[in-house]
Amino acid sequence: MEIPSKDYATMVEDKIVDDLEARLYVTFNALAERFGFARINGEYMENRFASLFRDGYAAEMRDLAIRFYEEFGMPVTSDGRDF
């Protein structure tokens, strides 16, 4: 299935990145609590976490998730046009 580039960016890529970030945040804090290291709390740490994720890991993890979904049977692709 092919969808417009703008829809692909906002409905597929952004959704995946937002969900990954939220779940990694929860997982990080659960592990921190379980193993006794510092949890993410406060605006500074939240911004640092978001920045590190978005600048360092988001694109790679998004691409891996998309590849996984495609292999699982969700072959949604962009029309390749700029918006």
Q: Do 2 and 79 contact (CB within 8 A), yes or no?
A: yes
Q: Which single residue is written with the structure tokens 């993410």?
A: 40
Q: d(Cα 40, Cα 31) in Å, to the nearest integer? A: 11
For the chain, the structural domain boundaries read 2-75
Q: Which single residue is written with the structure tokens 């605006």?
A: 43
Q: d(Cα 40, Cα 43) in Å, to the nearest integer? A: 9
Would you give per-residue pLDDT tens digits along the chain (83 residues)? 888 888 888 888 999 999 999 999 999 999 999 999 999 999 999 999 999 999 999 999 999 999 999 999 988 788 888 76
pTM of the model: 0.83
Phi and psi at residue 41, in whole multiples of 5°? -150, 150
Q: Do 7 and 83 contact (CB within 8 A), yes or no?
A: no
